[in-house]
Amino acid sequence: MKHTSLFSKSLFCFLIAALAMTGMAVADQWIHVEVENPRDGETVKINLPFSLMSAAVAMIPEDVRMDGELRIDDLDMDWQELMALWNEIKDAPDATFVTVESRDETVVVKKSGEYVLIKTTESTEHGADVDVKFPLAVVDALLSGPEGTFDFEAALQALSDYGPGELVTVRDGDETVKVWIDNQNEAD
Q: Domain boundaries in the chain?
A: 6-58+68-182
pLDDT tier at 82 (50, 70, 90 boundaries)?
Answer: confident
Rounded distance between C-alpha atoms, residue 171 and residue 188, angstroms: 18
Average pLDDT over residues 172-188: 84
Q: What share of the chain is helix, strand, coil (3-state, %, to 5)?
A: 30, 40, 30
Query: Which amino acid, 115?
Result: Y
Average pLDDT over residues 76-95: 86
pLDDT tier at 115 (50, 70, 90 boundaries)?
Answer: very high
* Res 78: pLDDT: 76
pLDDT tens column, 147-175: 777 788 888 888 888 888 899 999 888 88
* Res 183: pLDDT: 86
Mean pLDDT, the chain, integer: 79
16 with 161: CB under 8 angstroms?
Answer: no
On the 0-12 / 13-18 / 19+ scale of CB atoms within 10 A, 10 is buried
| Residues of the chain above pLDDT 70, percent | 74
47 with 32: CB under 8 angstroms?
Answer: yes
Residues 6 or more apart whose Cβ sits within 8 Å of residue 53 = 18, 21, 22, 23, 25, 31, 156
In 3D space, the residue among 175, 165, 171, 160 whose CA is nearest the CA of residue 52 turns out to be 160
* Res 14: pLDDT: 56
Query: In 72-173, where does DSSP find H-type helix?
Result: 79-91, 136-142, 152-162
* Res 4: pLDDT: 47
* Res 111: pLDDT: 95
